[in-house]
Amino acid sequence: MEMTGWLSGKRARIEGACPAVVAAFEAVGATFVEEGEVDIWVHVARPPAIRAAHMLSHEEWRASLDAGLDRPFLGAKDFAGQCRARGEGGAILFIGAPEQALGADQAAAAGALGNLTKTLGVEWARDGIRVNAIMTRETGETLGHLAAYLVSDYAAYVTGAVMGIGLDD
């Protein structure tokens, strides 16, 4: 199947940086907008500095939970409210590192985000809002293609999924 036009006419917003996702979305027809209504909302968690658990301060712990769990939840909640207000569904995608990748603080945030994804996927499905997550350290084309698929109509029945992408060593 040719990967063109999957997201034609869809407006997207991304919080965080992930050039591979932007490139993949644009390649299949999505338009990125900074303000106004969107059909797709993506949150990319910036990985924290790796520190041993016994070295983490409370502030560092809270900052990791804020970046990896609180911000994704609050952004998704706002997006879902906008979708409900206009009577349309939408797609939410969380992207972050897997639980085992970067230390105890990031592991706690990633584990909670995985459970949040599953819960919101079920809870918001009745409103036509799909919620999925990709947990990986991959930043390349594979990530971009999987992300484009998960927010496309081809994945219309996929919600609450937490997927991973392995790295070739």
**Taking 50 as the threshold, does the pLDDT of residue 1 lie above it?**
no
- pLDDT range class, residue 169, cuts 50, 70, 90: very low
Q: d(Cα 21, Cα 144) in Å, to the nearest integer?
A: 4
Rounded to whole angstroms, the Cα distance separating 58 from 85 reads: 38
Proportion of the chain above pLDDT 90, given as a percent? 67
CB-based contact 97:45 (threshold 8 Å): yes
Structure tokens at 45: 């968690």
Nearest CA to 125 among 96, 95, 154, 161?
A: 161
The pLDDT value recorded for residue 139 is: 84
pLDDT at residue 98, as a whole number: 74
Q: How far apart are CA 39 and CA 52, in angstroms?
A: 39
State which fold the 11-163 domain adopts: Rossmann fold (3.40.50)
Whether residue 9 has pLDDT greater than 80? yes
| Predicted confidence (pLDDT) per residue in 83-115, tens digit | 999 999 999 999 988 766 668 888 899 999 999
* pLDDT at residue number 167: 60
Q: What is the pTM of this model?
A: 0.92
Domain parsing of the chain, residue ranges: 11-163
Q: For residue 3, what pLDDT is reported?
A: 53
The two tokens of residue 32 are 């990125």
pLDDT average, residue stretch 121-142: 94
Query: In terms of residues, how long is the chain?
Result: 169
Q: What is the mean pLDDT of residues 23-32?
A: 94
User: For 36-49, how does the pLDDT look when each residue is reduced to its tens digit (9 = 90+)?
Assistant: 999 999 999 877 67
Mean pLDDT of the chain, nearest integer: 90
